[in-house]
């Protein structure tokens, strides 16, 4: 929505800017032309009038007639001044006027002045121009009002046009936002639009959606296939183990190894379930999913990792600080606990690894190399491994832990330890 508004506003601004430039240029040239024409015409008229006055004066001088003023051919509101004896003297305020045409302002009054020097005498015509000035002001006001009006009209037109132009874009945005795009039944959008840029956008959207649907379909088949194809051999392993036990012919060591095969089989089964849940983004945990208590999951994990810890000369300890009565998704809890314990054992040499159970959660503490503060967020990202990472890991373990925790609404944090090492805390 914000984009659409911004685009509409940008169109209106463009309209107003163009109008401003055009009407501004028009108004300025009009003012300039009026000014030039005024100067030119008035100068010409006054020059002619002054010539007539001077001609009359020289005629009067030659005929000996000394009568002044009324006999001169002067236009109304025009005064003649001269530095010679044949007319009124040039007023002091006009003494500095230049030769030819100029304008003179005296308080609220404005005048045109035309001066000519002949035989060392200055002659001057002064014409009041208040009326013209008023007309000029009226013209300028008209031009200003016209410019303002055209800007207003441009903004209204721009707004109407922008709305019209943006209407299909807005409609497409609404359709994309509101309909359930991933439903295979959702009809394509492109046929609703003209074959213009918006139509092409709709077609591009349809095409992308098509790819997305195909990818989702492939993924759905893949998860279905995986779950089906892996479940069957796992069931075969489990039932074969049972049958072998039932024969009663196995030695103690063989039974132990058979038990390990059974445990590994059920671990794989759990992992498959976990990955399928995560892949589907399924928020249901389902009634059929096995549940386990925190203590139960911890016992399983201890059995599973004690050999690995022993092999590295580590002391793997289970500490119960408080009892927890909750029951949790067995696969998910096993995956989280297993990844944290495996890392704790993997990233420390010797020393102690502690699985500490508290009410509503657990901690996995080790005395290993620890994680630098600036990397404590990144290690939860997929494929992130610290430079000094050891072994063959892919950097996926903690990202799976994080996703499982998010899925279950659990919090996972890395808490600093007073001594060296790491402490991963899971809060249900």
Q: Which strand (E) or helix (H) includes residue 158?
A: helix 130-178
Using the minimum distance from each CB to ligand ADP, give the nearer residue, 125 or 345: 345
419 near ligand ADP, judged by CB under 6 A: no
CA–CA separation, 51 and 57 (whole Å): 10
Q: What is the phi/psi pair of residue 109, to 5°?
A: -100, 145
Choose among 347, 319, 355: nearest CA to 421: 347
Among 393, 408, 425, 428, binds ligand ADP (CB under 6 A): 393
Interface with ligand ADP by CB under 6 A: which range of 10-18, 56-64, 295-303, 366-374?
366-374
**CB of residue 265 to ligand ADP, shortest distance in Å:** 23
Token code pair at residue 102: 């100029």
Among 34, 226, 396, 425, binds ligand ADP (CB under 6 A): 396
Interface with ligand ADP by CB under 6 A: which range of 146-154, 156-164, 231-239, 379-387?
379-387
278 near ligand ADP, judged by CB under 6 A: no
Instruction: Answer for the pair 368, 315: CB distance below 8 angstroms, yes or no.
Output: no
- Going by the DSSP 8-state scheme, the letter that residue 379 receives in this structure is G
**CB of residue 388 to ligand ADP, shortest distance in Å:** 7
Token code pair at residue 247: 């024969």
Instruction: Answer for the pair 268, 262: CB distance below 8 angstroms, yes or no.
Output: no
By Cβ distance, which residue is nearest to ligand ADP?
Answer: 393
**CB of residue 375 to ligand ADP, shortest distance in Å:** 7
425 near ligand ADP, judged by CB under 6 A: no
368 near ligand ADP, judged by CB under 6 A: yes
Among 112, 328, 347, 410, binds ligand ADP (CB under 6 A): 347
Among 389, 407, 425, 427, binds ligand ADP (CB under 6 A): 389
User: To which residue do tokens 């039944």 refer?
Assistant: 185
394 near ligand ADP, judged by CB under 6 A: yes
- Please measure the distance between the N-terminal and C-terminal CA atoms of the chain and give it in whole angstroms: 39
On the CB side of 360, CA atoms within 13 Å amount to 5
Instruction: Answer for the pair 14, 157: CB distance below 8 angstroms, yes or no.
Output: no
163 near ligand ADP, judged by CB under 6 A: no
Size of the site for ligand ADP (CB under 6 A): 22
Instruction: Answer for the pair 126, 95: CB distance below 8 angstroms, yes or no.
Output: no
Q: Are strands 327-329 and 291-293 parallel, antiparallel or unpaired?
A: antiparallel
115 near ligand ADP, judged by CB under 6 A: no
Among 276, 395, 425, 427, binds ligand ADP (CB under 6 A): 395
Instruction: Answer for the pair 153, 18: CB distance below 8 angstroms, yes or no.
Output: no
CA–CA separation, 295 and 427 (whole Å): 15
266 near ligand ADP, judged by CB under 6 A: no
386 near ligand ADP, judged by CB under 6 A: yes
336 near ligand ADP, judged by CB under 6 A: no
**CB of residue 262 to ligand ADP, shortest distance in Å:** 26
The partner residues of 115 in beta bridges, in order of sequence, read 100, 124
Interface with ligand ADP by CB under 6 A: which range of 95-103, 177-185, 312-320, 340-348?
340-348
In what side-by-side order are the strands of the sheet with 109-118? Answer: 78-82, 121-128, 109-118, 100-106
Instruction: Give the residues lining the site for ligand ADP (CB under 6 A).
Output: 339, 343-344, 347, 366, 368-371, 379, 384-386, 389, 393-399, 422
């Amino acid at each position: 929505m914000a984009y659409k508004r911004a685009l509409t506003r940008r169109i209106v601004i463009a309209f107003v800017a163009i109008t401003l430039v055009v009407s501004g240029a028009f108004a300025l040239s009009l003012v300039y032309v009026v000014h030039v024409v005024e100067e030119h015409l008035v100068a010409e008229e006054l020059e002619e009038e002054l010539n007539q006055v001077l001609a009359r004066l020289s005629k009067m001088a030659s005929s000996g007639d000394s009568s002044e003023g009324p006999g001169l051919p002067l236009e109304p509101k025009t005064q003649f001044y001269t530095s010679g004896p044949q007319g009124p003297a040039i007023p002091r305020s006009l003494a500095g006027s230049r030769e030819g045409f100029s304008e003179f302002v005296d308080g609220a009054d404005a005048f045109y002045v035309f001066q000519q020097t002949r035989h060392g005498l200055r002659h001057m015509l002064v014409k009041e121009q208040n009326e013209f000035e008023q007309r000029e002001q009226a013209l300028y006001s008209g031009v200003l009002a016209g410019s303002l009006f055209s800007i207003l009209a441009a903004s209204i037109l721009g707004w109407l046009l922008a709305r019209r132009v943006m209407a299909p874009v807005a409609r497409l945005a609404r359709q994309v936002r509101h309909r359930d795009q991933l439903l295979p039944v959702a009809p394509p959008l492109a046929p609703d639009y003209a074959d213009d840029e918006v139509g092409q956008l709709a077609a591009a959207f349809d095409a992308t959606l098509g790819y997305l649907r195909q990818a989702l379909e492939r993924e759905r088949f893949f998860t279905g296939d995986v779950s089906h194809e892996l479940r069957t051999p796992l069931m075969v392993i489990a039932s074969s183990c049972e049958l072998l036990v039932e024969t009663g012919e196995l030695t103690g060591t063989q039974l132990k190894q058979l038990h390990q095969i059974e445990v590994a089989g059920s671990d794989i089964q759990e992992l498959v379930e976990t990955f399928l849940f995560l892949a589907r983004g399924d928020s249901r945990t389902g009634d059929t999913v096995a549940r386990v208590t925190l203590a139960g999951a911890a016992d399983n994990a201890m059995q599973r990792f004690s050999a690995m810890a022993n092999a590295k000369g580590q002391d793997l300890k289970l500490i119960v600080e408080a009892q927890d009565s909750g029951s949790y998704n067995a696969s998910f809890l096993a995956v989280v606990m297993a990844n944290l314990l495996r890392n704790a054992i993997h990233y420390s040499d010797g020393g102690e690894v502690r699985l500490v159970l508290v009410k509503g959660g657990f901690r996995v503490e080790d005395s290993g190399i620890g994680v630098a503060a600036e990397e404590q967020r990144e290690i939860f990202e997929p494929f992130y491994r610290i430079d000094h990472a050891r072994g063959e890991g892919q950097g996926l373990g903690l990202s799976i832990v994080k996703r499982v925790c998010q899925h279950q609404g659990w919090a996972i944090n890395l808490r600093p330890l007073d001594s060296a090492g790491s402490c991963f805390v899971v809060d249900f």
